[in-house]
Structure 1
Amino acid sequence: MANGSITVYVNGEKTETAQVEKLYNSSYEPNCTLKTLFRPGDHIRLEATAEDGLYRAGCEVEIPQPIGESIHVDTLRTLLRASYGMKDCMQYKITIHDRPDEKNYYRLIIEENAYRISSEDGIKYGPFPSYPEIINQEDIVLTDGHLTTADDEEFGILDMTVQNLNNVFTDGRFENGSYTLKVYTSVPSMSGFNKKDHLLLDVTVRVLSISQPYYRYLRAMNCLDSDDYNETFMEPVIVPQNVSGGLGFIGTSSEQQVTLRMIDQPPL
């Protein structure tokens, strides 16, 4: 999008017009950074132009309200049965409290951020973010009641269940109450970093409140991104869109998060 811009309106008032920046790295990639601070409950309208106004598109979204109470996270290093034996994993038990008296939609994200404090100059570098795969096969909410095991990958040939790759869920099984998600990831590691540096790694567990259209969009992407989706036997995927004058989807979220220090390794 050359010569493009995005104008932002919050609750009917214009807050900024941001111009497209030309970033050159391995490939040309246009980028537009917004400075407006959004708050839960805000109604947002975005109007985009390209080629000096020749092309125009827009969308309207609302920032959801976050979970009212803090989430609680317990961790345990354990073994989980995988296709080829037992796998060393980190288990997370994440307790959340549903927003009362309304239908709610959520997404779980686990983010790892690595840092290194250089042994040469003492400067702290990072974060270096990564997103480990979340194994949700044992959780009734994240699998929508379709619990699985490692054996299902080998023997579940006719299984019509698509994995919840985006880890989205509703409060349908714990409405107005609390629930503890149980998921797994690989064990956090600092492999690849210089062991002579002071190495740190934080894990941030994030529970996002999202809108129903955003939930439906991510459910559709579960199908399109999954190796389990079978076009022959399953219903066609309808991908929601909320952009007028163009194609695509813009989603918003609010979140509660907990950050845990998982590795604090002094220089060796």
Structure 2
Amino acid sequence: MKSYIYYLSALIVTLTIVSCENELPFSIKDNPPKLVMNALINTESQTNLLFLNVTGKEATTHIQNATIEVRVNGQLAESLRPLPPEQEGDPQCRFNITSKFTPGDVVRIDALTDDGKYHAWAEVTVPQRPAEIENIDTLTVPMLEYGHKMNYLRYRITLKDRPGETNYYRIVVDKQTTLWKYNYEEEGKGEYIFWTKHSYSFIGREDIVLTDGQPSTGEDEDNGIFDTARNIYGVFDDSRFKDTSYTMTVYNSTHIETAGEEGYFNAMDVIIRLRSITEVEYYYLKALNLVDSDIYDETIDEPIKYPGNVHGGTGIVGISTEVSATIPIILPKYHNRKR
């Protein structure tokens, strides 16, 4: 029996995007449902989640009962069952991978459903750790954004390529704002509660490496002169600075984004994270850059096929290593930190 299916993009799901005006013949017999396995693992992170779904005629659906097996260099490291739902009515199947990986490890992850119907797996060699960040210079500068000048912090980050090999990297600008509020309880007792809010947005349009040799300015963007995808995920390779050092320029806002109901400002740090990523993760995030930029229109643009490395199913499993540097942000109005 022949029917028709529309493939749409989904968060961290490796599917083919096609114009909504085009119909593709889809044979259910020749294209049975497949497991969708997705994880972007960082060796420095305490929380590495793997997501499981299954493809359907019109959309992905959730897996209810499955096991994840993690092997490192051929040895079983852990066997995992799904985490409890994050909230009521959320059936997303998630697994928390706790195994520790080191550069050069060969990691294989198998996903198996309890009914024996599905089995998908991916194998990844953990990339070598990047060289330590050599230097970071910072300066507050005015920038034109949407016709208005605003103060941004400029970071000039000097990094060094690993010699003698082709490398793929990701730069992450992790702005961490610590907030606090007083939790009132009965009989006048209470306590101070602190938590951290993360923001990862940054501007890299002036950097020749982050823009693949097509730098631009805020005026260019406002005028629509350079209608190119933004490097939202900060991925790049070493083709422009192979076996040598390079100073990268990015910007972000250190504006305090908090109100009294959410909490009160306590402190702010910016952590510059330089990650060494696999080739498949590099091309996957480059595809997401295009999809998540305003310039992509699925009704008129060419279809995008996401890269993947999952066998017996679809999806992507990436593993990255990381070095980082922390920059304390001292704002004149907030000298007294409570932490």
Aligned with 2:315: secondary structure? coil
Identify the residue that residue 149 of structure 1 maps to in structure 2: 217
Which of these residues, 258, 262, 265, is aligned with residue 191 of structure 1? 258
After superposition, residues 35-46 of structure 1 pair within 5 angstroms as 35-46=98-109
- Label 1:193 to 1:41 Cα distance change in 2 as closer, same or farther (>3 A): farther
CA contact (8 A) 2:132 2:324 kept: no
C-alpha RMSD of matched pairs (Å): 2.6
CA shift for structure 1 position 168: 0.7
| Residue 2 (1) aligns with residue 64 (2) | yes
Equivalence map 1:130-149=2 (5 Å) = 130-131=199-200, 133-149=201-217
Moved over 3 A (4+): 116-124, 154-157, 193-198, 230-236
1:157-212 residue CA offsets vs partner (Å, 9 max, x unmatched) = 6x452221111111111111111110111124252257996702221110111121
What is the Cα deviation at residue 218 of structure 1?
A: 1.1
Considering only CA atoms, is the larger Rg found in Structure 1 or Structure 2?
2
Question: Structure 2 CA distance, aligned partners of 1:27 and 1:116?
Answer: 30
SS of residue matched to 1:229: coil
Q: Check conservation: 1:197, 1:266, Cα contact below 8 A.
A: no
Equivalence for 2:3: none
Residue-by-residue CA offset, 1:43-80 (whole Å, 9 max, x unaligned) = 10000122443222111111111112334222211111
Kindly report which structure 2 residues correspond to 1:209-220, keeping only aligned pairs within 5 A, or say none.
209-220=276-287
> Which blocks of at least 5 consecutive residues in structure 1 are unaligned?
none
2:194 to 114, 125, 130: 125
* Counterparts of 2:171 and 2:76, CA distance in 1: 32
1:260 aligns with 2:323: no
C-alpha separation in 2, matches of 1:176 and 1:259: 25
TM-score (norm 2): 0.71
Q: Once the two structures are superposed, what CA deviation does each residue of 1:121-177 show, in whole Å capped at 9, x if it has no partner?
A: 66562233232x2111110110111011122234336x4522211111111111111
Report whether the alignment pairs 1:64 with 2:127: yes
Any conservation in 2 of the 1:67–1:209 contact (CA below 8 Å)?
yes
Unaligned runs of 5+ in 2: 1-62, 184-189
Opposite residue 23 of structure 1, the aligned amino acid is P
Aligned to 1:223: 290
1:235/1:146 CA distance change after superposition, 3 Å: farther
Q: Map Cα deviations across residues 11-38 of structure 1 (whole Å, 9 max, x no partner).
A: 1111110110222426413321122111
Q: 1:128 to 1:172 in 2, by over 3 A?
A: same
Percent identity for Structure 1 against Structure 2: 35
Partner amino acid, structure 2, of 1:8:
V
